[in-house]
């Protein structure tokens, strides 16, 4: 583990390669899984606020799920997540464009409708953050559906942490990221 400020970063984020390849996976990570995207408490308030602004961008079945379940839910493990369509299937906030699953929240962000890009857990994927009282641990979440992203990352020689530079800076700041890069160089 590499210590950077109040975080521990697993070495796999440095040694493993990853670059999303939507042409191969079609954004399946927003559809598969056993729960919605993890959220923190502040994000639940943001979702309530922005939902009316992005609702028209979402799929009808996603809107129905949100109207029935709410803009966020507590899953079977007691964690805050985005609601899902059909119980544990696709995230209610997805859209489909040319056979590729995309985030309706991010679409609203790109169109200037909202100033929040998407839940940080989605933006950071395949990094999963585990919170403890005094620090956070960043781990690499290996999922078979991301095999093409691993292959593409190896071809391009892009480590996980570099692929996720923007989301890491969004969560932890530019100074934190610079410290991580310095630690990697040592």
Print the domain residue range for 89. 25-117
Considering the domain architecture, whether residues 175 and 136 belong to the same structural domain is answered as: yes
Q: What is the pLDDT of residue 168?
A: 98
Domain boundary among 117, 143, 160: 117
The alpha helices in the chain, defined as continuous H runs, are 12-15, 22-25, 41-54, 60-69, 104-110, 120-124, 147-156, 160-163, 165-172, 174-185
Domain boundary among 90, 117, 144: 117
Considering the domain architecture, whether residues 66 and 10 belong to the same structural domain is answered as: no
Beta bridge partners of 91: 84
Considering the domain architecture, whether residues 131 and 54 belong to the same structural domain is answered as: no
At 146-156, the pLDDT tens digits run 888 889 889 99
Considering the domain architecture, whether residues 100 and 39 belong to the same structural domain is answered as: yes
Cα–Cα distances (Å) from 4 to 43, 162, 166, in that order, read: 24, 15, 17
Beta bridge partners of 94: 103
User: Which residue positions in the chain have pLDDT lower than 70?
Assistant: 87-88
Domain boundary among 83, 117, 151: 117
Considering the domain architecture, whether residues 30 and 110 belong to the same structural domain is answered as: yes
Considering the domain architecture, whether residues 155 and 108 belong to the same structural domain is answered as: no
- Look at the chain and report how many structural domains it folds into: 2
Q: What is the pLDDT of residue 88?
A: 66
Considering the domain architecture, whether residues 64 and 37 belong to the same structural domain is answered as: yes
């Amino acid at each position: 583990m590499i210590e950077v400020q109040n975080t521990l970063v697993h070495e796999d984020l440095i040694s493993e390669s990853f670059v999303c390849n939507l042409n191969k996976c079609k954004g399946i990570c927003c559809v598969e899984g056993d729960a919605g995207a993890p959220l923190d408490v502040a994000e639940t308030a943001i979702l309530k606020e922005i939902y009316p602004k992005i609702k028209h961008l979402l799929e009808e079945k996603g809107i129905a799920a949100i109207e029935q379940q709410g803009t966020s839910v507590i899953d079977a493990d007691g964690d805050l997540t985005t609601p899902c369509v059909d119980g544990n299937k696709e995230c209610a906030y997805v859209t489909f464009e040319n056979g590729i699953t995309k985030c309706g929240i991010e679409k609203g962000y790109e169109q200037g409708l909202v100033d929040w890009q998407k839940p940080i857990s989605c933006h950071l994927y395949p990094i999963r953050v585990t919170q403890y009282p005094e620090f956070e641990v960043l781990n690499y979440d290996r999922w078979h559906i991301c095999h093409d992203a691993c292959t593409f990352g190896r071809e391009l020689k892009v480590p996980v942490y570099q692929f996720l530079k923007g989301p890491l800076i969004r969560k932890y700041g530019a100074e934190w990221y610079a410290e991580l890069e310095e630690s990697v160089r040592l």
